[in-house]
Structure 1
């Protein structure tokens, strides 16, 4: 791998998240953090695909997929932020940090830059794969990425429509894909990053590093910055309605809703 290219990407990601910190502190809107992060990962991935020494057709496919992901997610979060919606996860962290919120948020965003680097590294490894293109693994990777992009877009659209209804003030979303997972958008986001190890798969030992991308994304979404703080917020704001949803619907992986018998047991 090109050490200079990796250093260039790492520096760009760090600077971008420092810029996100400045914008959040100036505007008070935390949504711009994830907006900038999404576009930054996209630009880093495109740069990795374009600048790496590899087959042009594979590089082009990688760059297009990353661009679609970044534009879709970044524009969605930006539209939500412009509408005045604040991310409860950041709001709670900033409140808990109190007077030290400024420097602690800066460090937190640099950790996000490190996470972004791990994701971009998986994209670079996929683009740098020297095997003939397209292989069966490449076609499977593209299909997984497209299904993930469509699933996440549909999930976000369904949630946005629900939030515009009067029920949204006191109820929880359980329509469409949200009947089968409490966080289908998170599931499809994780699934998207599963596509890169498939495309990076080769005889090169370094290709195994691409597995860190879906592993990291799963850990973050399920155990750290995704589901835990969001569900804590939902329990505080929706109470027993959300607790009942937790008993019926899987947290992450989609599955049929559980039913409750007259004796109160789930099946």
Structure 2
């Protein structure tokens, strides 16, 4: 076993242990406050923290490691802060409220659920370990591409989050679907930009002996968003709470990749009047 592989293994072990501790604390908070949404906050902070840990423990060149710590850390901090604001200011997310009907008060199931998120932190740390072992020094075209991907994705996700938060803050929009701004062109623009963000580390890892591990980010994130824990749960909850309005949104608006929407299937008589001040189509 080479020194580099030992360094990568040690980084992953440290990241996993820290994630286990963090998710255990999140589980205790959930147990007290009956709000499992904190799991997303801890996950985002854990992934951002994993980037910093990998950068510190890595043995690659200074430039990719510094960028890894900055870009990954800032991404995780922004997302965790946004999610924490929602957790503290709103009732438990409908997805977890629905899951609570299944788990009930069996805290063993909740603990296992939180620890599964710790394993996901470990999985998403693979691209960070690849970047942290990159020996290529200096600013290269791949470095520029990685930073560009990061800027586009983080700014795009922040805009989508702000647009949705503004829509939800208006009581007149209760029970309706957000079609403002980026949400006119994708049912999940926040998820799209979160997925796009992982290509930043693919670029930063070019030249690393572990470059192939960087592809775990976009590939695994797409699988989880598209088929496992992202879009399926979010849309099932939307259909439970918004019914026909969301079904019409599904039929006219692309699921993930932004594109122009199809014409509305509603007749003029069925289309609700626009709320003054809203940017609805």
TM-score, shorter chain, exceeding 0.5:
yes
Paired residue total: 261
Give the counterpart of 1:59 among 45, 56, 65.
65
**C-alpha distance in 2 between matches for 1:261 and 1:252:** 20
Number of the residue aligned with 2:199: 194
CA contact 2:133–2:208 (8 Å) conserved in 1 = no
Q: Secondary structure at the match of 1:46?
A: helix
Q: Which of 57, 80, 104 is residue 98 of structure 1 equivalent to? A: 104
1:166 to 2:162 alignment: no
Residues 41 and 81 of structure 2 are in contact (CA less than 8 Å); yes or no, is this contact kept in structure 1?
yes
Q: 1:121 to 1:244 in 2, by over 3 A?
A: same
Q: Which runs of 4+ in 1 moved over 3 A?
A: 260-263
Matches of 1:236 and 1:260 in 2, distance apart? Answer: 21
Question: Where does residue 246 of structure 1 map in the other structure?
Answer: 250
Pairwise CA distance, 1:71:
1.4
Aligned partner (choices 110, 118, 126) of residue 115 of structure 2: 110
- So what's the TM-score if we normalise by structure 2? 0.88
Q: Which of 10, 18, 23 is matched with 1:12 structurally?
A: 18
Match of 1:41 among 22, 36, 47: 47
Q: How does 1:1-267 map to 2 (within 5 A)?
A: 1=5, 2=7, 3-100=9-106, 102-202=107-207, 204=209, 206-259=210-263
Q: Which residue does the alignment assign to 2:274?
A: none
Question: Deviation at 1:99?
Answer: 4.6
Q: How much does 1:261 deviate?
A: 7.7
Two-structure CA RMSD over aligned residues (Å): 1.7
- Segments of 5+ residues of structure 1 without an aligned counterpart are none
Superposed displacement of residue 131, structure 1: 1.7
What runs of 5+ residues in structure 2 fail to find an aligned partner?
268-281
**In structure 1, distance between residues paired with 2:254 and 2:229:** 18
The structure in which a higher percent of residues are helix is: 1
Q: Identify which range, 178-187 or 1-10, moves more after superposition.
A: 1-10
